[in-house]
């Protein structure tokens, strides 16, 4: 009798586990394509927002390469999305990491146009203090739009820092470390593109998978 009740309990528990897992698995199967599509579109919108409108005719997400960033991109391997119009290269979009954020690494999305100017900068993820450092998000403040159109000559190289350090870019009230790190990382990204631009902008066919390894 005792054994029977234990078995019965086990059977009931087991069937709950099976039906629970089945329910989740079926739903997962049903919505998976939709979720992947959402993620893809969200990324596409993000890329499109930092490119000049109507200039690209390829899907940058389909033409991406891995590069070794060395000391300039803050990460060992960074994604680079390449944007073309026909055979002409329009821009490259890099995913550098800011290693020295106030509360941990900040992942950026930086688009550099063919002429070396910035198409725009966006923050992909960060852990900065809510209310202070999180003004780097475009939903919280316009600060990050300030990079649009800037390049290594505008402002000049030695002006590529926040105002408190005698540079060109604003910091925000109560937070200097976050903008300072981001300005430095964006500058480094521009330097990287300046050095490896030929290879990054080259047509897809003759690009090596690993443009020059860089040691900082």
Partner 1 sequence: MTTAKGYGTLIGDGLWSNNQMLVALLGLCPLLATTTSATNGLGMGLATTVVVTCSNGTISLVRNLVRPEIRIPVFVLVIASFVTLVELIMQAFFYELHLVLGLFISLIVVNCMIIGRAEAFASKNRLDRALVDGLAVGLGATLVLTTLGGLREFVAQGTLFSQIHLLLGEGARGLTLRLGEDFQGALIAILPPGAFIGLGLLIALKNLIDTRLERPTRVRTVTTPAVSAARS
| Least distance in angstroms from the C-beta of 81 to partner 1 | 20
What CA–CA distance (Å, rounded) separates 207 from 65?
A: 9
* 44 makes contact with partner 1 (CB under 8 A): no
31 vs 212 by CB, closer to partner 1: 31
What CA–CA distance (Å, rounded) separates 162 from 55?
A: 31
5 vs 216 by CB, closer to partner 1: 5
One character per residue 59-98, x = contact with partner 1 (rule: CB under 8 A): ----------------------------------------
Q: Which helix (H) or strand (E) element contains residue 85?
A: strand 77-85
Site for partner 1 in 10-39 (CB under 8 A): 12-13, 16-17, 20-21, 23-24, 27-28, 31, 34-35, 38-39
What CA–CA distance (Å, rounded) separates 132 from 6?
A: 58
Cis before 92? omega within 30: no
Answer for the pair 117, 189: CB distance below 8 angstroms, yes or no: no
31 vs 204 by CB, closer to partner 1: 31
| Least distance in angstroms from the C-beta of 171 to partner 1 | 16
Site for partner 1 in 94-153 (CB under 8 A): 129-132, 139
Number of residues located near partner 1, criterion CB under 8 A: 26
Q: Please list, in sequence order, all residues whose beta carbon lies within 8 angstroms of the beta carbon of residue 160, skipping any fewer than 6 positions away.
A: 152, 167, 168, 169, 183, 184, 187
Q: Please list, in sequence order, all residues whose beta carbon lies within 8 angstroms of the beta carbon of residue 36, skipping any fewer than 6 positions away.
A: none
Per CB under 8 A, residues contacting partner 1 are 5, 8-9, 12-13, 16-17, 20-21, 23-24, 27-28, 31, 34-35, 38-39, 42, 129-132, 139, 173-174
């Amino acid at each position: 009798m005792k054994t029977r009740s234990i078995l019965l309990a086990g059977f009931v528990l087991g069937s709950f586990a099976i039906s629970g897992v089945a329910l989740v698995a079926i739903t997962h199967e049903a919505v998976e394509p939709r979720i992947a599509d959402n993620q893809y579109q969200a990324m596409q919108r993000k890329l499109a927002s930092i490119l000049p409108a109507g200039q690209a005719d390829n899907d940058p997400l389909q033409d991406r390469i891995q590069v070794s960033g060395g000391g300039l991109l803050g990460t060992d391997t960074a994604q680079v999305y390449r944007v073309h119009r026909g055979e002409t290269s329009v821009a490259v979009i890099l995913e550098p990491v800011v290693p020295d954020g106030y509360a941990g690494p900040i992942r950026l999305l930086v688009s550099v146009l063919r002429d070396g100017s910035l198409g725009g900068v966006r923050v992909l993820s960060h852990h900065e203090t809510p209310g202070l450092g999180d003004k780097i998000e475009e939903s919280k403040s316009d600060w990050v739009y300030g990079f649009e159109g800037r390049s290594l000559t505008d402002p000049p190289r030695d002006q590529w820092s926040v105002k408190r350090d005698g540079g060109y870019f604003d910091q925000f009230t109560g937070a200097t470390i976050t903008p300072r790190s981001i300005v430095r990382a964006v500058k480094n990204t521009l330097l990287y593109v300046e050095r490896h631009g030929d290879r990054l902008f080259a047509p897809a066919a003759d690009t090596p998978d690993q443009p020059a390894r860089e040691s900082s």
